[in-house]
Structure 1
Amino acid sequence: MRVANLANFLTGIRLVLVPIFLLFLFAGDGHETASRLTAFIIFTVAVITDRLDGSLARTYGMVTEFGKLADPIADKMLIGAALIGLSMLGDLPWWVTVVILIRELGITVLRFAVLRRGVIPASRGGKLKTLVQAVAIGLFVLPLHNWPPAWHTVAWVIMWAAIVLTVLTGADYVVSAIKDSRERTAGR
């Protein structure tokens, strides 16, 4: 399979969008309305490329070794950059960033550790977690300081859902990996 395909191109776009997103997130004092709206649009486009590249790769047989490695790295870079940026700006408590990033990095390490035996596919819960995280982070990227207080509540309700899903799906991946490892060991 050629590395140069549409799915991998979209992954590359996502990698390029991360620093551009950060430039707009931190523009001025980090709380300028126009810059934050632009950062939100860039974040949204990057999230959409994540959804599209995976769908294209599976549907049209564009899965490559490069894509298997680059896609999760691009995802973690986008989510990590957004979370760290929001925490640096004081818009999101650091504990939220730490909890989500520990799970994301831990599962990524686990996936790479078992890559030679096969890919750990994303579960439905993992896909839901990704969607809820993206919505929650996107809401925090918006210039909520200019919006009615109800939007802060909505953003926090969705962020709490993302945190719960993050922890539960992380535990599920670990349990599944342990179970798979035991089954492989018993099957020898």
Structure 2
Amino acid sequence: MTSSTPSSRRAHPVAAPAAGGAAPSTWNVANALTALRLGLVPVFGWLLLHGGDQPRWRLAAFVAFAVASVTDRFDGELARRRGLVTDVGKIADPIADKALIGTALVGLSLLDELWWWVTVVVMAREIGVTALRLVVIRHGVMPASRGGKVKTLLQGVAIALYLLPEAWVPREVPAVVMGVAVVVTVVTGVDYVVRAVRLRRTSPRALAKRARRRAGA
């Protein structure tokens, strides 16, 4: 379902900024869709926990999750095609994904439909990667990788299957998809660590700092 349908901010060539090369405004439609996704997170969480395993509430939670997930697809395409990619969007987009996925995982675990260790592993990775992005932000923004987006897609599909009434989808099906998602989650988490280390070593800020040290030696 998600990116949470994977975001396409990296799937299309970036359009040239309008207004004589001026940077796009933070207040744009792509970022508005990301904000909408964040706003849908508590609505989705309430629907999931309020309804428990009642089919009509589960379907309502599924719809909220699906709508939030679809916004990720559209905000990415708009950002790329209209030259609306901003640093705020690069940071807010994965945070919105993680908030949606995290709410779903915790909710399903509270309902005893998903093992807590799965939620802990996934959330530890997501929080860790977000913190890593903030640590290295002085050296540059680290956007989501293709592997990270595949991970988010697998998580989203598994969650969507869990949200549907059990009479419609046997629980073995989402369990298998979630198992694959957990493996990809861990592997891509390690990849982000490698990328962060490389960014700290090769960013213009890091190279300039090393140059000053050599000049003063």
Same fold, judged at TM 0.5 (above): yes
CA distance in 2, matches of 1:114, 1:133: 26
Q: Is the 8 A contact 2:151 2:181 kept in 1?
A: yes
SS at match of 2:138: helix
Trace 1:21-100 onto structure 2 (pairs within 5 A). Answer: 21-28=44-51, 30-100=52-122
SS at match of 1:9: helix
CA distance in 2, matches of 1:7, 1:37: 27
Identical columns (%):
55
1:13 aligns with 2:25: no
**Unaligned segments of structure 2, at least 5 residues:** 1-23, 211-217
- CA 1:118–1:87: 2 relative to 1, 3 Å: same
Indicate the larger mover: 128-137 or 3-12. Answer: 3-12
- CA 1:183–1:4: 2 relative to 1, 3 Å: closer
Task: Give 1:135's aligned residue.
Answer: 157
- CA 1:183–1:69: 2 relative to 1, 3 Å: closer
Task: Give 2:186's aligned residue.
Answer: 167
SS at match of 1:116: coil
- CA 1:6–1:186: 2 relative to 1, 3 Å: closer
CA distance in 2, matches of 1:182, 1:118: 11
SS at match of 2:193: helix
CA distance in 2, matches of 1:66, 1:181: 20
Q: Is the 8 A contact 2:139 2:199 kept in 1?
A: no
Amino acid at match of 1:178: V
Amino acid at match of 1:19: P
Query: Deviation string for 1:99-128 (max 9, x for gaps)?
Result: 000001100111111122212122221111
Amino acid at match of 1:103: R
Indicate the larger mover: 59-68 or 103-112. Answer: 59-68
CA distance in 2, matches of 1:172, 1:3: 29
Query: Deviation string for 1:64-120 (max 9, x for gaps)?
Result: 343233222221111111111111111111100000000011001111111222121
CA distance in 2, matches of 1:69, 1:179: 19
Amino acid at match of 1:147: W
Q: Once the 2 structures are TM-superposed, how far is the Cα of residue 186 of structure 1 from its aligned partner? A: 7.0
The two structures have a TM-score, normalised by structure 1, of 0.90
- CA 1:71–1:121: 2 relative to 1, 3 Å: closer
SS at match of 2:130: helix
Amino acid at match of 1:138: A
Q: Pick the aligned partner of 1:147 from 148, 163, 168.
A: 168
> Larger helix proportion, structure 1 or 2?
1
